[in-house]
Chains A and B, each alone.
Chain A
Amino acid sequence: MPEFDRERFSEIYERNHPWIYRVCFAYMKNAPDAEDCTEDAFVRLLDARPSLEDEKHERAWLTVAAMNVCRDRLRRWRRRRTVPEDLAEQLPDEDGEERREVLDAVMRLPGKYKDVVVLYYYLGYKSDEVALVLRESPSTVRNRLAAARRRLRGALGGNAE
């Protein structure tokens, strides 16, 4: 398809790959699996060839694809009763203790809470937009956001205000 020629794909990849890698890292908790899932999210893009209206839509599409790739991968792992190695400590020291604690707290959130946190806080979507992206009701999304905030505050000892 002309809209997904090599040049167009390169632009999309350059704009989004660090972002998608971070989302995948939040789910997979280690660099090799985050890279692998990032690749698969972009392969899904090539396979689906969606009509992307603008850069925001493009990023949302890839973010949701990345979340689905990670969830599928983790589900298969759970079924095999193996767990990916937690390599959060491999973050560079200069990232700071506080950032590492926040990242760790986000990574430990159950999937459904992590989805809303990533889309709401990191992608900057409003709760109604998150609901559209996740195909959930706005009240479900707001409940999950409230529950995620409670968990984050609990994990961070009340620092996340």
Chain B
Amino acid sequence: MNESEMICAALDAVAPAPGARERMLENIEKKASAEIRPADRRLRRAILTACCLCVLISGSIALIPRFLDRGEAENASTLTGYVVYDSPEAFKAMLDLSLDAPEGVEQVRYSIGSEKIACVDFFAGEHAYFLLATRLEGDVSGLYGKTVRTVPLENGGSLARLSADGETVWKAVWSDGDVQYCLANTDGAEEDEVLAVCRAVTGK
């Protein structure tokens, strides 16, 4: 039996209990009739749309002047709290930090978070990574989980494998002077892949 047949056979073995067919149908009718009537739904949708428009207009009025004043961020766009830049030169100019993706990676994106965290997102192989550098103290990675394995790195840092809700997260941290660095993967890269990217980033 192949993989597909095994999974189908296992799922096919699950059957609703006797009487479940009628019970579920009856409950569907009850739940459906308890739903909001279409006219009420339309009214609610109209009110919601009006509220959203008000918030959007007020927000735009408040924020546009702030963006117009940001001369240094002329070529930047804001994405998920980070301001995106065209090149890593922004890190040097704004944070006095040097940070870049290793050679040969793809889809590189540079951004600065909270005006203090330099961030480089990139793809290496089939996996996405992000690399952070900051002079802030404490963990700025935003990653959490139970540490299940730690591997020392040649640059004096460490690579930790975290488990969070059954997902594997790789988080490498190291420091150089007062700057702390973090490289992370959250889409299931293997340990040797993450180590190879670590070496490429640190040159060790």
What is A's interface to B at a CB cutoff of 8 Å? 13, 17-18, 21-23, 25-26, 31, 35-36, 38-40, 42-43, 46-47, 78, 91-92, 95-96, 98-100, 102-103, 106, 110, 117-118, 121-122, 139-140, 143-144, 147, 149, 152, 159-161
Contact = CB atoms under 8 A, between A and B. Distances in A.
A18 B167 contact: no
Contacts of B7: 102, 106, 117, 121-122, 152, 160
B166 A21 contact: no
B63 interface: no
Chain B residues touching A, range:
20 to 34
If over half of A's interface residues share one DSSP class (helix, strand or loop), that class is named, otherwise mixed; here it is helix
Contacts of B24: 17, 21, 35, 38-39, 42
Contacts of A118: 11
Given A13-B25, A121-B3, A35 B20 contact: yes
Interface in B182-201: 187-188
Nearest to B41: A47
Contacts of A106: 7, 10-11
Contacts of A13: 25, 28
Given A21-B20, A106-B7, A106-B11, A39 B31 contact: yes
